[in-house]
Structure 1
């Protein structure tokens, strides 16, 4: 009996001690100026995984928190974040968020690999928020970057959109989603349709070489797409848009978040009718071909998170994408089909004092197929023929260690394996890359910060390489001054290493002896920051050496011995009938170098009464030097681009009106073929967008939209086959409807 009583007392004591070890934090978040509740604000305890979002009344509740001392942080878009020290349970807390008309308090990570407020990051970063995208009325990644980021440009053809950034082509631009590389391309065009715009929190743009942190391909810059993980118990969203020429987009998402578990599900469907810029070709003959094909595409993404403790968070995610063109039989033998899937798992462990460990494993897969419309060779209508299959595997272990207020270290190990299977190019290969990277952030003085870092890379064929970086930032009142140097690195692509392909009269061959391309990037930045106005100017220079390009030689110009050796090898691979027509031999070599000099300028101003004005200008003098020592404009580069964004927002009780006018202007896009100038002309596009937000009760929002794209009806309607300036069909009208429920 005594033993039972003692056991009961001990168990009761444990229960009491456990309850005493738990605290509860609750209260409201309000607008500091108006006193109105701030809905959807993020309230979290720093250095833990615990957090929540405020409801429609601005209320928050954090319960079952382990007793201790914490820093509670409340933040929301268009407000300045507020922190408050807490120890023990607190109820009826009142947190006042000051309005911020220019959002510079949002946290960014791409420039340094660590978390910094935008206005305090030592490496200049440009950010496009979800609000910016929504106000501009765009639903796809290409349109968002075209209208909101002047340093990026696109030229499109039947094989996809060709991205340029500060004068350099898309193979030098690294695109990330939550820090993980987006792979899979067609003719070196990354398939941008894979990016689901419905769940984007922000897009961070790092210009210049970022290889010290991100490895290969980050020579022109890094675009990191950060997705959102809502903090509400339940969030369901439907976003629908109709536009002329059969353009239709439907997005649906359902997110569930509890104390320890989160599920984030999204689906997006997009389709459009094709259109022609001109029904005649350059010879004046009718053509059924078009650079803008009809298509339909689907994206499904699923992510699960689990926070077993306040220090450890786990996630697993997967995604599937498909797209199929719908081209006229009169002009084409086949449609293009694209399929991809990706998988990922990871963990983050908080060590305290802003230190943590990250471990991520990612796999991305992409396949391109021909789906035949007519009988062709051994294929019947409806048959599929796999043209290209790519696999990408990445394992990354990163640690961030804050030693004191003066020093923070980043250390990491990365392993990458890339595989390519392309039967028509006789390729079924894979290569690996191993890397170690280190970075040190140093607060030299109160207003002086420095960053130094280096990455060691071992590539299976290109050997050992180093990519260094160094940045310095000095704050003086409202001014920030930055100076940066970084080294870029690009490993040879599997196509450049191993292609062996005969098309028409040209034999293309890779070379396993290729060296990695390297760059040296330097920039100077000056920025003025205040609550109502910000302006920045960046001058930069980017020098790239050992650029890989194809050297084409006529067989007739070779010696008899060289020519016969090439013909014999090609005959063994493709047969004598195919090689009889062969005239040109093209081999990838480290031939060229490039030099890009430029200036980027950006400004944003709050004018009062709900009016904001912003914009940017980019100048890029991009020149390339070939093996003969001749300098010329880099193909597809643009000298001058600019964007202008004007916005007005006003609220009447439960209704809010947002008017947005955005424009893009650019000079001609350089392009030559066989010495003939085929440059695309300059142009300007202006869009007008309206959104009408109705707050229908505590948890439901209805947001219809209406807009006009290409107000002045610009269309490049020159004959088919030219280098088009833009593929817009002219002025179009759209309507949209967003429905959002959150609890």
Structure 2
């Protein structure tokens, strides 16, 4: 990113002040008309429904309208463009996500409070998330294990889906077309009666692969050679997802629901070609099945009992595009499928929510969870269960002072017992708000880290072996934060400073191969390794507990409303994440020190028939750290989207949209040694067209 561009962004955030986006556009007959103060938005960051202004836990909220205004149809783009302390690195193996300096395994992703699984080599497959049904996205920074258990060390991303109940029948079709064959089609049909509701959603997405240069280096730097390459920077895919949800209210106090979704995705990798390196014999195929069911019974206005069950299955493998031979024998034919990994999660949770006296909420809960891993490499077939109980009490201590105290007990089959406490305070005199939080976080070692017995042949034929470690300890963290904010009808500002101390971080340790290790590896992989393999393979990987990590950060957020229909929003994140390796403190890989998101939005309605919305948004960030390698340079990407809502009748609205992504054509054309050490994955300037049709 140009220095002047970055300084300008910092000046905007400093002088205009920064803050949480505090507007929400109502989805009424005027489309994107009408502004509501975000302080009236209900969030679930503390495990129950409450106004964001009353939450002792800071929550960054993106509403469906915020996402629609920017013309965003992709979950990854929604977070990248609107939340500065989130970064992504896409690949065929899913997306590597980093929140507040910590990576995938420290971030818990939920849909309606229930965990999302589906990682490939540690990268989560975010295409499982149906953008057509999102009502809002809540981002909780820092440790939240007291309420959510393992994996919530770096933060929680909770996706809340929409179940509209204001119309008997409503239907929406939303289509977007962009560069590189990008096509997104979402279609929803909702039917609601007094006692039975049906929500149906279908989503189709596709994208072509691309890279920003045609070369790569082969071998080890600096002796490697530059060759033509087909290795995509971003891997294309085709995907279909269908979701069906039923809600039944047989009596006024009882709500029952059942939901099922199926997701099918296959990558679109380039085939091998003469004269080019890389290229593939196979595409990767993904299948996801997710089933949920539950009920909520309200004893009266102050007491309720909720039961939720989740079954989530995720599997992926290789679907071959060409015949593959080994030693003159065809091992795979065109169309053959070879499963690489299968994950299962079963989760049963019971939650009792009580309001014992005015201004208080008390939660008692229990959860049983069982996770399974079946990996072809190394013939891994393991599972681990977790039983937990938790309680949380939120109360008003004084007129303007609230407090939340909670604790969770977890018994994990693999590592034993663990307690996770939490305490938070909110002091909000007049239009000011001050928050203080402390939470102990923990993360149980994953099944791959415990039991993996993994072999693969990397590019160039070099064997890569990774072993799990059954003696691993859970990772723990101590998270503290202090925030201050102010809001009125003209502007709103929040600034949060935090520290996150992580102990016993789990890393892949590189182990040199001696004679004993060689015999162990030959016995472990008799079909894959021979004596000749060790001419290329001199080390193998093994999971181990490292020293510690420390994340220091500041998040600042601002929204300004200079006049009716015009909004300016600025969000700034400073993140200094380090880890102690061999006695030396170094930046965590893929971390970004400074990042900014800026949004200017104009909305106006004429004659109650036509609404114009113009949205300009930008993301600017400093370099991305890759210790031991060349850092990825900073960048600034700006996007413009316009939408035009026409009310054709009482029941029908049409909303075409036209936008330009990456207006100034910011592209990273570097030739990287691994094709993975980038920060900006954008392909360049492109025009995006969309049309939404709403019937109700």
TM-score between the two structures when normalised by the length of structure 1: 0.84
Q: Distance in 1 between matches of 2:655 and 2:288?
A: 32
Q: Distance in 2 between matches of 1:506 and 1:136?
A: 42
Deviations 1:362-396 (A, max 9, x none): 01111111011222241112211000111011000
Matched residue, 1:53: none
Shift of residue 614 of structure 1? 0.5
Question: Which of 258, 261, 271 is matched with 1:316 structurally?
Answer: 258
Matched residue, 2:14: none
> Can you give the 5+ residue segments of structure 1 that lack an aligned partner in the other structure?
1-37, 42-55, 58-75, 80-98
Q: Distance in 2 between matches of 1:434 and 1:184?
A: 21
* Counterpart contact for 1:277–1:719, Cα < 8 Å: no
Matched residue, 2:438: 485
Aligned residues: 644
Matched residue, 2:623: 668
RMSD, aligned α-carbons: 1.9
Shift of residue 103 of structure 1? 2.2
Deviations 1:114-141 (A, max 9, x none): 1111112111111000110000111000
Q: Distance in 2 between matches of 1:226 and 1:645?
A: 23
Matched residue, 1:601: 556
Matched residue, 1:215: 149
Q: Distance in 1 between matches of 2:33 and 2:251?
A: 31
Matched residue, 2:583: 629
Matched residue, 2:649: 697
Shift of residue 77 of structure 1? 9.4
Matched residue, 1:583: 538
* Counterpart contact for 2:32–2:613, Cα < 8 Å: no
* Counterpart contact for 1:571–1:579, Cα < 8 Å: no
Deviations 1:152-187 (A, max 9, x none): 011123322210001000110101010111101111
Q: Distance in 1 between matches of 2:588 and 2:311?
A: 33
Matched residue, 1:430: 383
**Residues 1:241 and 2:183 are matched in the alignment:** no
RCO greater where, 1 or 2, for CA within 8 Å and sep 6 or more?
2
* Counterpart contact for 1:614–1:644, Cα < 8 Å: yes
Q: How does 1:500-519 map to 2 (within 5 A)?
A: 500-503=453-456, 504-519=462-477
Matched residue, 1:271: 206
Question: Which of 72, 96, 108 is matched with 2:43 structurally?
Answer: 108
Shift of residue 40 of structure 1? 6.2
* Counterpart contact for 1:119–1:529, Cα < 8 Å: no
**Residues 1:619 and 2:574 are matched in the alignment:** yes
| Secondary structure of 2:228's aligned partner | coil
Residues 357, 77 of structure 1: alpha-carbon distance in 2 compared, 3 angstrom cutoff: farther
Shift of residue 39 of structure 1? 8.8
* Counterpart contact for 2:556–2:571, Cα < 8 Å: yes
Q: How does 1:221-300 map to 2 (within 5 A)?
A: 221-231=155-165, 232-282=167-217, 283-300=225-242
Residues 578, 479 of structure 1: alpha-carbon distance in 2 compared, 3 angstrom cutoff: farther
Q: Distance in 1 between matches of 2:613 and 2:26?
A: 18
Shift of residue 506 of structure 1? 4.0
Residues 336, 564 of structure 1: alpha-carbon distance in 2 compared, 3 angstrom cutoff: closer
Residues 243, 505 of structure 1: alpha-carbon distance in 2 compared, 3 angstrom cutoff: closer
Q: Distance in 1 between matches of 2:463 and 2:529?
A: 14
Deviations 1:329-349 (A, max 9, x none): 121121111111111110001
Question: Which of 447, 458, 461 is matched with 2:411 structurally?
Answer: 458
Q: Distance in 2 between matches of 1:176 and 1:160?
A: 17
The structure whose Rg is larger is 1
Residues 260, 652 of structure 1: alpha-carbon distance in 2 compared, 3 angstrom cutoff: same
| Secondary structure of 1:289's aligned partner | coil
Matched residue, 1:706: 658
Q: How does 1:78-227 map to 2 (within 5 A)?
A: 100=36, 102-110=37-45, 112-227=46-161
Matched residue, 1:414: 367
Residues 399, 718 of structure 1: alpha-carbon distance in 2 compared, 3 angstrom cutoff: same
Shift of residue 570 of structure 1? 2.6
> Can you give the 5+ residue segments of structure 2 that lack an aligned partner in the other structure?
1-24, 218-224, 273-278, 457-461
Question: Which of 533, 545, 553 is matched with 2:491 structurally?
Answer: 533
Q: Distance in 2 between matches of 1:453 and 1:609?
A: 42
Q: Distance in 1 between matches of 2:666 and 2:310?
A: 42
Matched residue, 1:736: 690
Q: How does 1:248-397 map to 2 (within 5 A)?
A: 248-282=183-217, 283-330=225-272, 331-376=279-324, 377=326, 378-397=331-350
